[in-house]
Amino acid sequence: MSAPTPTPEAQSADTTAALPADLQDERLIASQGVSGFLRAFLSRLRSGDLGSLPVVVGLIVIWGVFQLANDAFLSSRNLVNLTQQSAATGTIALGIVLVLLLGEIDLSVGSMSGLSAAILAVGFVGHGWSLPLAILAALASGAVIGAVYGLLYTRFGVPSFVITLAGLLAFLGLQLKVLGKEGSINIPFDSGLVKFAQASFLSDAVAYVLVLVVVAVYVATRLRANQRRTAAGLSTTPVVALAVRAVALLVLLGIPVYVLNRDRGVSYMFLLFVALVVVFDFVIRRTRWGRSVLAIGGNVEAARRAGINVRRIYVTVFVFCSTLAALGGLLAAGRLASANQGSGGVDTNLNAIAAAVIGGTSLFGGRGTAYSALLGILVIQSISNGLSLVNLGSPERYMITGGVLLLAVIVDSLSRRSRAAHGRA
Amino acid sequence: MTATLSPATTAVLSLTGVSKRFGAVQALKDIDFDVHAGEVVALVGDNGAGKSTLVKTIAGVYTPDGGTMTFDGKQATVSSPAEAQHLGIATVFQDLALCDNLDVVANLFLGRELYTGRALDEVTMEQESWRLLRQLSAKIPSVRIPVASLSGGQRQTVAIARSLLGAPKVVMLDEPTAALGVAQTAEVLNLVERLRENGLGVILISHNMSDVMAVADRVSVLRLGRNNGTFAVSQTTSQEIIAAITGATTNAVSQRAARRESSPATTPDGTPSTSEEQS
Ligand SMILES: Nc1ncnc2c1ncn2[C@@H]1O[C@H](COP(=O)(O)OP(=O)(O)O)[C@@H](O)[C@H]1O
Ligand SMILES: [Mg+2]
């Protein structure tokens, strides 16, 4: 028996006494051992609890198709490009994930990122501020605008859809105003921001060490969790399953790092984006703030009655979203070494929102993970990148991205319906 | 349970002259109400009598327009549900207010999660959840499944267990059996007994007279937003209570109940057989 039994007495006749506290109910379909884990996973899928599966499958299909069309697609060089193209909009999409978890939306993230880029460029290049000051000013503008959204939403109850639509227009105007008559400001190539966004890569060795550290931390955390659960008389993850996951993680991180290292490597900018995703994933799942966000997305009234300061959560989420949009704007400005009237235009806005949804964050609130920003933006940028490799441009890109977005929303709606039918709503 | 109806013990919660109006509707008018430790008081009344409003006033959802409330011997004002909870008044609202997307543990600890360092202490919370549910003899197969996948009785159980986390002195249940089948109703009534055994003051709102007669010690009747009598269950009949609810001494229900009473199925002293459990 592969059951994770903490004591040798477990083999005795009295099985209930030795079973972990969470496995004693006889109606619980046994989900112990490796086969149990597999079975639980399959039954979750069948009931419509799809998680990240659709987008992962989608990504594999997209990569397969483009690789067949042009074998430069999965080349190290192109994949490094892909990571560079994904970081800025992905960071913005991370903010969208947060507002979607609340069941709200921010339509103005594109304008916000453009405004942030404009503030940075005018401050840094125009007024000769130091780079940290210019960055701080740009991020602060995001925080302030997010706070204003939050206050408008919580005090006046105006739907976030409308508030942020107004913001989209207003901040586009402000962006043009800040940029002035010329409408375009170049950021010097030797500035820290441009160097960071264009030419900063981890050395191969550091990248590999990082992978090992991440896997080690994962294993240590899980073993520690098992230890604590055993002490608390709860079931544990079988060591075999844990080992499988650790190896899977090693492969999942190691192979991409190997492939990227054959070209320029893992860029600082992409690493920053991924680090933000990991941090926000932790914050969403393992802190009271994140739990409150999910609760509000699931049932605002229940959250309020549980004593959660609902207004504070709304305001902080809008602040995070706008600030991440501002940060995304800075990364984009750094990568293009300029801020102009087109910064954070229609593309940025729609791609960021589409990425969060394609990545699997529900439009209905309360369901989704930070990783949807990463997976979603990889899908969108892969489509854009792949199409340009096969010499197709904006028309095809818009249409295909639109189709994928529609597909993602349909999957979301269907799985929601299926969850309701299977009692997993 | 001996001290339950004794006037010597002071009430853990008592209201005097509480009023509440919504615009033109006088939802509550001069309500007096109290509950003792280890006592189940049923709050009954017709639809719109003001039961939910009274519960929400006690729970801090509404601020009363007048009247006073004493809790644990001291005068108290509650201006928010959080404050009421902090004081020791827990409420299970009619609409339960659970987050369907979160699992049982997350729902139980919502708003008062436990921490280790910077992260939520999922292990202790899960352990505590099991302890709490076992203490209530609750039947929940797993605490790591979304609340949406539970039955009505199980959801009610989660909501009640949730109300007990803050170690309250008074628990208010608004129509806990309204949407439940026979077995699930019995499960919830068992839970109410368990609460009383643990020395809590329980305020139970119910439309179901047999539920009320089965678990309550006292019955307080509201009618059109006013007190319309308080009855000790051991010394009353459901007929008498129904009469107080409807405000009529004779109506179809009470007449029928009276006919039943004189049938052979009743106990010699004429009380309905359900009240036997009280002795
Ligand atoms: N939030 C509110 N706004 C206006 N009127 C209300 C509100 N809540 C309750 N009422 C009114 O107060 C009266 C008592 O309602 P309620 O306490 O819900 O009755 P019950 O729970 O006994 O059926 C009803 O006439 C109802 O319409
Ligand atoms: Mg009611």
Q: What is the ipTM of this complex?
A: 0.86
pLDDT digits (tens, 9 = 90+) for A76-104: 999 999 999 999 999 999 999 999 999 99
Residues of A near B (CB-CB distance < 8 A)? 21-22, 25, 27-28, 225, 228-229, 232-234, 282, 286-288, 291-292, 294-295, 297-299, 301-308, 366-367, 419-420, 422-425
pLDDT digits (tens, 9 = 90+) for A344-392: 887 899 999 999 999 999 988 999 999 999 999 999 999 999 999 998 8
Return the ligand number nearest the Cα of B50: 1
pLDDT digits (tens, 9 = 90+) for B182-191: 888 888 898 8
Question: How many angstroms away from the CA of B113 is the closest CA of chain A?
Answer: 7
Among A195-204, A307-316, B237-246, where is mean pLDDT lowest?
A: B237-246
pLDDT digits (tens, 9 = 90+) for A213-267: 999 999 999 999 999 999 999 988 889 989 999 999 999 999 999 999 999 999 9
Among B6-15, B17-26, B225-234, B249-258, where is mean pLDDT lowest?
A: B249-258
Residue % of chain A over a pLDDT of 70: 91
CA–CA separation, B137 vs B139, rounded Å?
Answer: 7
**Residue B139 CB burial class (10 angstroms; 0-12, 13-18, ≥19):** middle
- Residues A85 and A78 sit within 8 Å (Cβ to Cβ): no
Return the ligand number nearest the Cα of B222: 1
Q: Do A294 and B98 touch (CB under 8 A)?
A: no
Using only C-alpha atoms, chain A has a radius of gyration, in whole angstroms, of 23
Neighbours of ion ligand 2 (CB under 5 A): B 52
- Residues A390 and A69 sit within 8 Å (Cβ to Cβ): yes
Q: What band does A334 get if pLDDT is binned at 50, 70 and 90?
A: very high
Query: Which among B93, B102, B111 is the nearest to A298, CB-wise?
Result: B102
Q: How far is CA B98 from the centre of its chain?
A: 17
HSE-up of A393 (CA within 13 Å, CB side)?
1
CB of B48 closer than 6 A to ligand 1? yes
Q: Which pair of tokens denotes residue A303? A: 């959250």
Q: Which pair of tokens denotes residue B179? A: 């949407």
Q: With an 8 Å Cβ cutoff, is B95 touching chain A? A: yes
What SS3 state is found at B71?
Answer: strand
Helices (H), ranges, B22-145: 51-58, 81-87, 104-108, 122-135
pLDDT score, position A176: 92
What is the 3-class SS of chain A, one letter each residue? CCCCCCCHHHHCCCHHHHCCHHHCCCCCCCCCHHHHHHHHHHHHHHCCCCCCHHHHHHHHHHHHHHHHHCCCCCCHHHHHHHHHHHHHHHHHHHHHHHHHHCCCCCCCHHHHHHHHHHHHHHHHHHCCCCHHHHHHHHHHHHHHHHHHHHHHHHHHCCCHHHHHHHHHHHHHHHHHHHHCCCCEEECCCCCHHHHHHHHCECCHHHHHHHHHHHHHHHHHHHHHHHHHHHHCCCCCCCHHHHHHHHHHHHHHHHHHHHHHHCCCCCEHHHHHHHHHHHHHHHHHHHCHHHHHHHHHHHCHHHHHHCCCCHHHHHHHHHHHHHHHHHHHHHHHHHHHCEEECCCCCHHHHHHHHHHHHHCCCCCCCCCCCCHHHHHHHHHHHHHHHHHHHCCCCHHHHHHHHHHHHHHHHHHHHHHHHHHHHCCCC
Which of B58, B94, B100, B158 to mutate: most A Cβ within 10 Å? B100
Question: What domains sit in chain B, N to C, each tagged with a CATH number?
Answer: 13-100+169-247 (3.40.50.300)
- Residues A296 and A316 sit within 8 Å (Cβ to Cβ): no
CA–CA separation, A367 vs A419, rounded Å?
Answer: 12
Q: Do B124 and A232 touch (CB under 8 A)?
A: yes
- Residues A357 and A100 sit within 8 Å (Cβ to Cβ): yes
Q: What band does A34 get if pLDDT is binned at 50, 70 and 90?
A: low
Helices (H), ranges, A287-345: 288-298, 300-305, 310-336
Q: What band does A288 get if pLDDT is binned at 50, 70 and 90?
A: very high
Neighbours of A402 (CB within 10 A): 12
CB of B55 closer than 6 A to ligand 1? no
CB of B20 closer than 6 A to ligand 1? no
Across the strands, what pairs with A308? none
Across the strands, what pairs with B115? B120
- Residues B106 and B179 sit within 8 Å (Cβ to Cβ): no
Q: Do A286 and B111 touch (CB under 8 A)?
A: no
Give the alpha-carbon dihedral of A254, A259, A263, A267, to 10 degrees: -50
- Residues A281 and A372 sit within 8 Å (Cβ to Cβ): no
Q: Which of B26, B31, B53, B173 to mutate to test the pocket of ligand 1 (most atoms within 8 A of CB)?
A: B53
CB of B73 closer than 6 A to ligand 1? no
pLDDT score, position B259: 62
Protein residue closest via CA to atom 1 of ligand 1: B22
Task: Look at residues A127, A79, A78, A87 and name the one whose alpha carbon lies nearest to residue A330.
Answer: A87
Q: Do B139 and A25 touch (CB under 8 A)?
A: yes
Please work out, in degrees rounded to the nearest 5, the angle formed at the alpha carbon of residue B75 by the alpha carbons of B71 and B76. Answer: 70
Question: What domains sit in chain A, N to C, each tagged with a CATH number?
Answer: 52-200+267-414 (1.10.3470), 202-263 (no CATH)
- Residues A86 and A377 sit within 8 Å (Cβ to Cβ): yes
pLDDT score, position B149: 84
Question: How many angstroms away from the CA of A219 is the closest CA of chain B?
Answer: 17
CA–CA separation, B105 vs B162, rounded Å?
Answer: 9
CA–CA separation, A425 vs A418, rounded Å?
Answer: 8
CA–CA separation, A81 vs A378, rounded Å?
Answer: 11
Residue B33 parent element (H or E): strand B25-35
What SS3 state is found at B104?
Answer: helix
pLDDT score, position A22: 75
* Phi then psi dihedrals of residue B71, to 5 deg: -130, 125
Å from CA of A158 to ligand 1 middle: 27
**CA-to-CA dists, residue A237 to A23, A34, A51, A251, B133, angstroms:** 13, 9, 20, 20, 23
pLDDT score, position A51: 73
DSSP string, A162-206: HHHHHHHHHHHHHHHHHHTTT-EEEPPTTSHHHHHHHH-B--HHH
Protein residue closest via CA to atom 20 of ligand 1: B48
Q: What band does A14 get if pLDDT is binned at 50, 70 and 90?
A: very low
Chain A hits for B145, CB-CB cut-off 8 Å, are 424
Q: What is the pTM of this model?
A: 0.84
CB of B196 closer than 6 A to ligand 1? no
Q: Which pair of tokens denotes residue B199? A: 């020395």
CA–CA separation, A119 vs A126, rounded Å?
Answer: 10
CA–CA separation, B165 vs A376, rounded Å?
Answer: 40
pLDDT score, position B269: 45
Residues near B76 by Cβ (< 8 Å), separated by ≥ 6? B69, B70, B87
Residue B60 parent element (H or E): none
- Residues A356 and A100 sit within 8 Å (Cβ to Cβ): yes
Q: Which pair of tokens denotes residue A56? A: 């992962």
